[in-house]
Structure 1
Amino acid sequence: MKEAQEEVRRVYGGKGYVDESQLHQLKYLGAVIKETLRLHSPGPLLAPRENYESCEINGYVIPPKTKIIINAWAIGRDPKNWTDPEKFEPKRFLDTMVEYNFKGSKFEYIPFGAGRRICPGSTFATPILELLLSNLLYHFNWKLPKGMKVEELDMEQPFGAAVRRQNDLILVPIGYSP
């Protein structure tokens, strides 16, 4: 959070407020969002699909008209595709020549689906999310309540069709003025 906050305040510091004009400069914040979606895909199981023709995957023949459910949660944590996959490491999206985006062109990163069936709202939601987070990071410093330590955060998630926290995250906002 500290690095993302420093980036936002550096980019918007002279302005005194956050708007859409400089969002493209927030590379680290974008990497934080991508890493969050890699670990916590909004829908851990993507919408069911059906193949049109027979195909073979890892030696298994999949006949036509087979209903397929893709496990985006497992793909985002696959050690074949990600170094230290359980660790939250946004820099993995900065220190690479591969461009990971939400279009589903890299099948190791598909938080919103892939191919023709990608979530149509993702292109609308991404800049809104960037703007919201930028404003929260710019205007507030954040701390855990009552001396709580980061290691004490409960990151459990219940099983379900959508990913959410088991227990609410409680933070204390402290106003910031440049």
Structure 2
Amino acid sequence: MAYGSFYDPTGDGVTVIPVTPPTFGQKVIFTTPGPSLNVDPAPVPNNTTDLQVATSGVYEVSMDISVSLTVSSDLHPTTDVQFGLFINDSILAIGSIFESSHSISASPGDQFVILNMINTVGRTLQLRLNKDDRLSIRVFKFTGNVTGNVLYRFPSLIVTKIAD
């Protein structure tokens, strides 16, 4: 048996920093570990971003995050942010990308428009992990050239071993 979880119940928004491929984006930060057995926060310096499994096996991983997207007609009409599950900081888990996207359109002469959308996005997947693998959620892609128009809050990462 193995399980563990990470949360940030504070609701404090964290600004998403633009991503410059091929570099991976920032790791999602957590403040509160949940119940755990053989899945714990990784050692420093990854103790607020990564969960580490103590035994190999097949795991179910659930993750979600609330995203605030602000777009305006005179800045950048489309804002898109994608998150993904990473194993040991370098391997993007297959099927783990989840995203939030919003766009606006206005005809010439329309008044200035600002739209803000807040939604919760997430993904659940199953994957085989090896002993001591570390899991983190990272920004995978960010489209929108205005710093500060995308925030995340209330992230969660839940890992449960389902088979050897």
Q: Per the shorter chain, which TM-score range?
A: under 0.3
Task: Say which structure is richer in strand.
Answer: 2
Larger-Rg structure? 1
Q: Which has the higher contact order (CA 8 A, sep 6+)?
A: 2
TM-score w.r.t. structure 1 length? 0.23
